[in-house]
A and B are shown apart, each in its own frame.
Chain A
Amino acid sequence: MSESKRILVKGNEALSMGAIKAGCLYYFGYPITPQNEVPEYMSRVLPGLGGEYVQAESELAAINMVMGASALGVRSMTSSSSPGISLMQESLSYIAGQELPAVIVNVVRCGPGLGGIAASQSDYFQAVKGGGHGDYKLIVLAPASVQEMYDHTMLAFHLADRYRNPVLVLADAVLGQMQEPIVEREEVPPEPRKPWALTGAKDRPMRYLKSLYLKEGELEAHNKLLQEKYREIEKHEVRFEEFKTADANLIVTAFGTSARIVRTAVNMAREKGLKVGLFRPETVYPFPKVRLKTLSESIKDFLVVEMNTGQMVEDVRLSVIGDTSVQFYGRPGGGMPTPLEVLGEIEKNYSGQ
């Protein structure tokens, strides 16, 4: 890629551009800070591309509009921030139950309640543990740069279609609002055929999409199929980044914006001679538990840094082998860890073994 193609954009614009590059011409959304640049960008650009921007009356309506377009095999998306994503949980469960592709972006703000508009990672549990009712999983991508806001949103459409599953891009206010140079991608994976889509029953029997299974045994069988799909996703779609882990005695695990702060702290620790590395999950579902387990076989000290009171740390603890020390440092909604604070935690927990 040539340098001349780099352009400076906000994270929220980058994700909009990535979506459009992926062929998403239908956006349904409702204003909420800190993601308003997305509906603003889409409302400005989509009409000229022959697409549609619909400002829904609520996040409830927005996610159902996505569900309707998706049922017809059309790529569409919505974006919101924490309280709005909470409103969408009912339909995320339906979309997962009906095995429909859909892309949802959560530019996370602070909770609980109306909370605040600053960056937070306190929606991790909601994103990766289901969020709505029933046994289901979203594929959850956690970008850590404006480039990844673009790339992960593009990837989200590909994964959503491939697995017929909703994909959530778990960003935050920092990633949405900051500007960084990005490179636009030339190559887009081809959109798969959608033999399940509702296109009108011409020259074929009618089709329906449902999540209600009343006959004896039917629902359990459906749920087992969903679980098989999730196992496939866990096998094939785990993504992560390692930074200076090769010789590390302590690994700091962090995703998204926290991982950027941790990277600075890791460099500071290295300057002090501490062998510290960063492990950054890019997919938080599927969680990179196999790689973490392998790392924990030779590395005994783990520190997890999050912008919440301790959510992903549970998945790290479930991943590593028994006698691994997994410490946590986090700042709850309204606060943000500094590199110096993280360095202090590294020094506190560094045994050097």
Chain B
Amino acid sequence: MKTVFSKPQALNDAVMHYCPGCSHGVAHRLVAEALDHYGITERTVGVAPVGCAVLMYDYFNCDIQEAPHGRAPAIATGMKRSRPDLIIFTYQGDGDLASIGLSEIIHCANRGENITVIFINNTVYGMTGGQMAPTTLPGQKTTTSPYGRSLTANGYPMKMAEMLAPLEGTSYVGRMALDTPGNTLKARKMIFKAFDMQIKGMGFSFVELLSTCPTNWGMSPSQSIKRLQDELIPYFPLGVFKEKEVVD
């Protein structure tokens, strides 16, 4: 019998704690497929964020360290500089990466650290219960923007891919949505490319994944997908923002 579909080897059999309709499961799977594809699970160390994905060490078969909130890119820097033979990736949410860890991500990217960053953008702080994030959309209601995000009071949603792409140190910057099978396949391709860049020593690679958080959005999984398409994608355009051809 021919196997047409199976779970990636880089994931274990644990039942994930993520809510129904949450994008983390899909994102985990895509990362795991990349580890399988390049055969790098045995020499990969992941860095977990503070947020819902802090527990990612319960699911992956590669070594993982838990970082303080926002500091994953600095942890990854210490790892890659001292063991350049290892493949290092961070997996971070929008509060972690774009708010408290903004300095770490920008400087890590600017140094061109040869690591891969997977960035989950779902426009809220998930684990703490749906507070306003740096990527919360204008007018979006959250538990700390109960009247909707005010641009005068809170500024504008951070477009991380657009911020990082112009930095000389980045080798690859892309954004994709985890809404349809088609886009999920495109996201898979981006994540593969991001790891490929690291394997080839091209420098910092970054994939932003527009994701759903049905629990904190107060929506069903299908309504969440629709919101992602109607509201997130227009504000956070999809595509590859940067792709270096040759190493500097």
Contacts and interface: CB of A to CB of B under 8 A. Distances in A.
A61 B45 contact: no
A52 B77 CA distance: 11
Contact of A66 (B47, B63, B78): B78
Contacts of A72: 45, 79, 82-83, 86
A61 B104 contact: yes
B32 to A, nearest CB: 12
Contact of A212 (B47, B66, B75, B111): B66
Among A26, A56, A208, the most chain B Cβ lie within 10 Å of the Cβ of A208
Question: What is the size category of the interface that chain B forms with chain A?
Answer: 20 to 34
Interface string B185-203: 0000000000000000000
A64 B71 contact: yes
Given A91-B68, A206-B63, A68 B76 contact: yes
Interface string A166-185: 00000000000000000000
Contacts of A94: 66, 68
A74 B82 contact: yes
A26 B61 CA distance: 28
**Residue picked from A26, A57, A76, A94, most chain B C-beta under 10 Å:** A57
Contact of B82 (A52, A62, A91, A201): A52
Contacts of A98: 65-66
A68 B74 contact: yes
Interface in B64-99: 64-68, 71, 74-79, 81-83, 86
Contact of B77 (A65, A200, A210): A65
A41 B67 CA distance: 29
Nearest to B103: A57
Contact of A71 (B55, B68, B71, B79): B79
Interface stretch (B36-44, B150-158, B168-176): B36-44
A91 B42 contact: no
Interface residues of A, number: 40
Nearest to B76: A68
Interface in A17-49: 25-26, 28
A69 B64 contact: no
Scoring A56, A64, A67, A68 by chain B CB atoms within 10 A of each residue's CB, the highest score goes to: A68
Contacts of A294: none
Given A60-B71, A64-B75, A202-B43, A69 B57 contact: no
Most chain A CB neighbours (cut-off 10 Å) among B45, B64, B111: B45
Contacts, number: 133
A203 to B, nearest CB: 8
A84 to B, nearest CB: 14
B63 A212 contact: no
Contacts of B111: 54
A64 B81 contact: no
Contacts of B57: 206, 208, 210
Interface in B15-69: 41-45, 47-48, 54-55, 57, 60-68
A206 B62 contact: yes
Contacts of B62: 200-201, 206
Nearest to B63: A198
Interface string A203-247: 101111111100000000000000000000000000000000000
B74 A71 contact: no
B242 interface: no
A71 B65 contact: yes
A347 interface: no
B81 A69 contact: yes
A90 interface: yes
B141 interface: no
Contacts of A66: 78
B107 interface: yes
A58 interface: yes
A57 B104 contact: yes
A199 interface: yes
Contacts of A203: 42
Nearest to B12: A206
B61 A211 contact: no
Given A28-B77, A200-B43, A211-B66, 5 more contacts: A65-B74, A65-B78, A66-B78, A67-B75, A205-B61
Interface of B: 41-45, 47-48, 54-55, 57, 60-68, 71, 74-79, 81-83, 86, 103-104, 107, 111
Closest 9 CB pairs of A and B: A68-B78, A65-B78, A64-B74, A208-B57, A68-B75, A57-B107, A198-B63, A202-B42, A200-B43
Interface of A: 25-26, 28, 52, 54, 56-58, 60-62, 64-72, 74, 76, 90-91, 94, 98, 198-203, 205-212
